[in-house]
Amino acid sequence: MEKEAKEEARKAQVEAEARNKEMAKKVEDSDRKVDQLQELVQRLVKFEEKKRSIQLCMNTCSIV
């Protein structure tokens, strides 16, 4: 009986470790995706800033 309880506990531990490993991988994947999204947003902001600068320059140049 005690041996069976130990085996069940060990089995539960192995399953929990497997779930933890899977969840850790998902967290890593999510972190990577968040980083990629942040980089994309930064690039988009820079692009918009350059676009506004060019538009402002074009408007200023056409006034002169």
pLDDT in tens, 2-31: 889 999 999 999 999 999 999 999 999 999
CA–CA distance, 31 with 24 (Å, rounded to integer): 10
pLDDT at 58 over 90: no
62: pLDDT strictly greater than 90:
no
pLDDT band, residue 59 (cuts 50/70/90): confident
* pLDDT band for position 56 (cuts 50, 70, 90): confident
Q: Which domain holds residue 31?
A: 1-64
- Domain count across the chain: 1
Structure pTM? 0.67
For the residues of the chain, what is the DSSP string, one character each?
Answer: -HHHHHHHHHHHHHHHHHHHHHHHHHHHHHHHHHHHHHHHHHHHHHHHHHHHHHHHHHHHHHH-
- Tell me how far apart the alpha carbons of residues 23 and 30 are, in angstroms, rounded to a whole number: 10
